[in-house]
Amino acid sequence: MTEFAPAKINLALHAVGQCADGYHLLDSIVTFTADADDATAGAPAGDRLGFTLSKKDAFSISGRFGEGLSPAPDAARQNLVLKARDILRIALDAKGIAAPPVAIHLQKNLPIASGIGGGSADAAATLRGLLRLWDAQISEPELSALALSLGADVPMCLKSRPLAARGIGEDITMLDTMPSFAIVLGNPLRGVSTPDIFRRLTTKNNPAIPALTGDWQADLSALRNDLEPPARSLVSEIGELSELIAAEGAWLARMSGSGATYFGLFETSAKAVNAANSLQSKRPDWYFTAARTIGAK
């Protein structure tokens, strides 16, 4: 049994405040990449997890960026996939629901620490996949609470549909009218520390996202990512990435999350694929892929 863990794209991210405990309050518009098995999708811009009932728990990793995740027992225990497995098992055991041993395989296709969900998407996919494998049910509020305990981005990754996220990420409103976009993702393969980015954020009380009009191109073009300026000061390649993607004809080019992934939205999938190929030829040492986002049918 497999589960797709799509890239999470912050189409806009406004930093609107800070809690007393240090957590930043955000206002964000989020979408996710479609699985390549979907006829409307492009390349597989996401990780993939496999789940198999086993005599004992096991965990393995492959994929282009798998080497960046250590399979050593001590390090692996910190992986959000295993944390999601364990926290779900505890919740099911408390209800008397069987959660037998499972072998989990993670195919890591997305760059690590890149601002597009990565570990959070993998954790959410683990929750979805194990509930199917174990033929178990849990209430949506309880599942959302488990997801939030794993990280602020996990509840939205659990949805993996277009949404608005507020607060620290737990206040979610679905955006069912958002269309599918042709997208290119680019990353200079430099990991970015989210805490470092927030420490460099000089203004923490920025204007929130205004009411959306439904003209998605106009709405998104008028928004921003407040984390982009501090990220650019930390990773100089982000500026070059921005210029390269914009030069390929993207109608919107912006950083996702805390970086360093940059995305470009294009009018058609063909234009996105051509742009990704062109960008890869210019910077063969960087990561580029074309895909489509999940949108209203």
Active site (catalytic) residues: 8, 153
Could you tell me the two tokens for 176? Answer: 């069912």
Residue 150 CA to residue 120 CA, distance in Å, equals 8
CB atoms within 10 A of CB 219: 18
Q: Is the separation of the CB atoms in 160 and 123 below 8 Å?
A: no
Of 196, 209, 290, 205, nearest to 250 by C-alpha is 290
Alpha carbon distances (Å) from 269 to 25, 41, 124, 180: 34, 8, 27, 10
Amino acid in the structure at residue 290: A
Q: Is the separation of the CB atoms in 8 and 194 below 8 Å?
A: no
Residue 293 CA to residue 229 CA, distance in Å, equals 25
CB atoms within 10 A of CB 270: 12
Residue 230 CA to residue 194 CA, distance in Å, equals 11
Residue 143 CA to residue 138 CA, distance in Å, equals 6
Could you tell me the two tokens for 72? Answer: 């050593």
Could you tell me the two tokens for 149? Answer: 């305990």
